[in-house]
Amino acid sequence: MVQILVQTPLPAVLNDCRLTLPRVVVAGPSAVAAPTVALRAHPALRTLELDAEHVVAFVPSLSHIAVLNRPALALLRRLPLADPAEISGSLATLANLGLLVAVDDAGAIPPPPAPTTLVAWLHITNACNLRCTYCYIAKSAEAMAPTTARAAVDAVIAAAQRHGYSEIALKYAGGEPLLAFDTVLATHRYARERCAAAGLGLQATVLTNGTALTAERAARLGDLGLAVTLSLDGFGTANDQQRPTGSGGGSAAAVFAGINAALRGGLTPAVALTVTRASLKAAPALVAWLLAQGLAFTISFYREPTGQQSGDELALEATELIAGMRAVYATVAANPPPWSVLGALLDHADLSHAHGRACAAGEHALVIDHHGRVAACQMVLAQPSATLAEADPLGALRRDPQMPLGLHVDAKADCQACAWRYWCGGGCPLVTLRATGRTDVRSPNCALYQALYPDLIRLEGYRLLHQGR
């Protein structure tokens, strides 16, 4: 009997660079109509072995990830069929997943559609009670005034309307935004009112270190529809040596207390891990704990905050990073979550859907600081491209020649012919800019990503197989 397992690919947790919020769905192919034309396997179809009875099948940059049993794989290899009537349902499912094309179809991979969500990072405060070693924010007591916060919301909505977006995604960040808790609440109430009046969708999260999170605060955030993503890099010293408090103490205990407080307040936080040389070996243990708690998470790679090649103790060589990530993947395989891992476990790469850029920076995002200055990315907050006083700040940052972060992957040399380009998006444009002085070339992490893509796809296949059983 033909067996096909698939879960509709979903976006990952909203963290520093990610766009959309996590949702949990039930596995299974969507309803499809019987095919009306002769079909064959997509010419770019690939398979990876899972076990003696199953493979994971996919078309890079295009299809859903699917697990096929041997009869389903045999069906693929027999195509096209003279009379597909008896197995039309299976053929329709495979076609709907993007694994089949019409016999006369060349199988070209179409460019992805433009995003419909405008991302806005609101830098609520410079103040923070931690001194993370990889942070790129210059700390001070300065904070965003309520009038600036409302002006920022108005500017984001105006930009969405001017440039044709149907939704905005707000990230309340800092510094530590919970140190300006009342400003976050008031700003989001205003954003909800203004988006409703403008007919725009709204999603939002608070990016926090979690140490100031209480059950009462979590409940109030949840009541406003705000999600929470908190940063945590490990247990004890694995976290504390790179995320110390302002006085030099550890922060891990306070973060775990914040997680428990959020759960008591009825809010399930997501967790963002940043892997460095100091924390990578400890990552599997934290990942195992997060899986046991049912908490969604993302993994991002360390980025030098100043852009200098310092060679410090946090930087990772590609070989050790690949080995470390494979240890993390093995941990996930031992206890697969009910949500897709395709957009969560490989830095900027997101294999859950086709996209032309690794992130929204420089094209589909506004990063607004506490003074109302607008930058292309939160990591270049001190290098604004516009201000809120301008009529079209999004247009201004798109045109900034000093910060060309919004380049489409199809405009990058060595990327146009890459099979992975619409799942990769070309990698972090700022990392590429700092390493090469330009953004129209391949990412310095290209080889690393390509080494891990098959591992991540196979992991998703194991997860689907586990869920199907």
58 lies in a domain? yes
Of 312, 315, 310, 286, whose CA–CA distance to 298 is shortest?
286
Structural domain count, the chain: 2
Distance (Å, rounded) from C-alpha 74 to C-alpha 63? 19
| pLDDT at residue 358 tops 90 | yes
Counting residues of the chain whose pLDDT is more than 70, the rounded percentage is: 90
Distance (Å, rounded) from C-alpha 430 to C-alpha 380? 9
| pLDDT at residue 419 tops 80 | yes
CA distances to 24, 120, 333 from 227, in Å: 15, 15, 27
Same domain, 54 and 23: yes
| pLDDT at residue 28 tops 50 | no
pLDDT at 307: 45
Banded pLDDT at 10 (limits 50, 70, 90): low
Strands (E), 113-209: 117-125, 167-174, 201-208
pLDDT at 31: 41
pLDDT at 6: 83
Banded pLDDT at 26 (limits 50, 70, 90): very low
| pLDDT at residue 30 tops 50 | no
- What's the pLDDT tens digit per position in 314-342? 667 889 999 999 999 999 999 999 989 99
Domain CATH for 275: 3.20.20.70
Same domain, 126 and 106: no
144 lies in a domain? yes
Two tokens, residue 12: 């990952």
Same domain, 227 and 137: yes
Of 69-73, 192-196, 256-260, where does mean pLDDT reach its minimum?
A: 69-73
- 177 Cβ contact partners less than 8 Å away, ≥ 6 residues apart: 124, 125, 184, 206, 207, 208
Same domain, 56 and 80: yes
At 203, is the secondary structure helix, strand, or coil?
strand
Same domain, 126 and 69: no
Same domain, 314 and 219: yes
The pLDDT of 290-300, averaged and rounded, is 95
pLDDT at 32: 42
- What's the pLDDT tens digit per position in 216-251? 999 999 999 999 999 999 999 999 999 999 999 999
Same domain, 70 and 201: no
- The answer to whether residues 123 and 64 touch, using CB atoms and an 8 Å cutoff, is no
- The answer to whether residues 239 and 251 touch, using CB atoms and an 8 Å cutoff, is yes
Of 181, 121, 201, whose CA–CA distance to 153 is shortest?
121
pLDDT, averaged across the chain? 90
pLDDT at 308: 44
Given 315, 333, 351, which residue is the final one in a domain? 333
Given 292, 315, 333, which residue is the final one in a domain? 333
411 lies in a domain? no
The model carries a pTM of 0.92
The pLDDT of 375-379, averaged and rounded, is 95
pLDDT at 9: 53
Given 280, 313, 333, which residue is the final one in a domain? 333
| pLDDT at residue 14 tops 80 | no
The pLDDT of 75-88, averaged and rounded, is 72
Same domain, 101 and 190: no
Same domain, 303 and 181: yes
- What's the pLDDT tens digit per position in 306-319? 644 444 556 678 89
Rounded to the nearest angstrom, the gap between the alpha carbon of residue 269 and the centroid of all alpha carbons in its chain is 15
* Residue range of the domain that includes 126: 117-333
- The answer to whether residues 453 and 420 touch, using CB atoms and an 8 Å cutoff, is yes
Same domain, 89 and 180: no
- The answer to whether residues 185 and 138 touch, using CB atoms and an 8 Å cutoff, is no
- What's the pLDDT tens digit per position in 172-213? 999 999 999 999 999 999 999 999 999 999 999 999 999 999
Q: Is-cis flag, bond preceding 22, omega within 30?
A: no
Lookup result for tokens 């140190």: 179
263 lies in a domain? yes
CA distances to 36, 37, 104, 354 from 92, in Å: 9, 10, 17, 21
205 lies in a domain? yes
Rounded to the nearest angstrom, the gap between the alpha carbon of residue 24 and the centroid of all alpha carbons in its chain is 15
Same domain, 94 and 125: no
In sign, the C-alpha dihedral spanning 448, 23, 460, 414 is negative
- What's the pLDDT tens digit per position in 106-164? 999 999 999 999 999 999 999 999 999 989 888 899 999 999 999 999 999 999 999 99
Of 279, 330, 323, 331, whose CA–CA distance to 300 is shortest?
279
- 5 Cβ contact partners less than 8 Å away, ≥ 6 residues apart: 27, 66, 67, 68, 464, 465, 467, 468
Same domain, 80 and 221: no
The pLDDT of 244-265, averaged and rounded, is 96
176 lies in a domain? yes
Distance (Å, rounded) from C-alpha 241 to C-alpha 249? 9
